[in-house]
Amino acid sequence: MTAEQSDATWARAFRGDLSGIVGKHLIYAYDNGWKYELYVRNSHMTEFRCLMGPNFGRWSTEQPAKIVQLSGDQYKLAWVEPTGTTVIIITWLSQRRVHTTICYPQWMLDYPEFTMVRYEDNLDEILTARDRGPVYPLTLVASTGRITFLESQATDDDTVIDCPPSKLPPGYADRIN
């Protein structure tokens, strides 16, 4: 069985009903004031932007992800960024809560300036910095936050996350609904 066939088998057996999360666009805030934006582009891809916090400026529009329904409107999204960062987000849409676990490689803490960009536009530089390392020690961060903005968008909409956080209008990260 090829990796592609294995992934397709896994998807059918374990992903559940993703119709409640695909197309969702949300902004969530942590107690420490950091804010992130997430768009679930389709059943296997997310987009994100860091809107406030020390990672401000980081964004991606082509992030492959594993997405599963845990139960009802509870979903888990997981991905590994080109930086080597592992991200796992659990969302409870009706409760408007998120729980995020992130594992940062050491080089990102030492040289964050390489990642305050759109990943896809700077992939060669990011990969060079990642490969230079160091990877260890890894820093594990777990945070719980609240969803402050939630809306439904069409799938694969290139206009949802289409510019760096620095180009967003004033008050964008503070929208609530």
Active site residues: 36, 81
| Vertex 151: Cα angle to 145 and 156 (nearest 5) | 110
Cβ–Cβ contacts within 10 Å for residue 110, how many? 11
Write out the DSSP string of 25-59.
EEEEEETTS-EEEEEEEETTEEEEEEEESTTTT-E
* Residue 147 near residue 36, CB atoms below 8 Å: no
For 129, phi and psi rounded to 5 degrees? -65, -40
- Backbone CA torsion sign across 141, 142, 147, 151: positive
Q: In sequence order, which ranges of the chain are alpha helices (DSSP H)?
A: 3-14, 106-110, 123-132
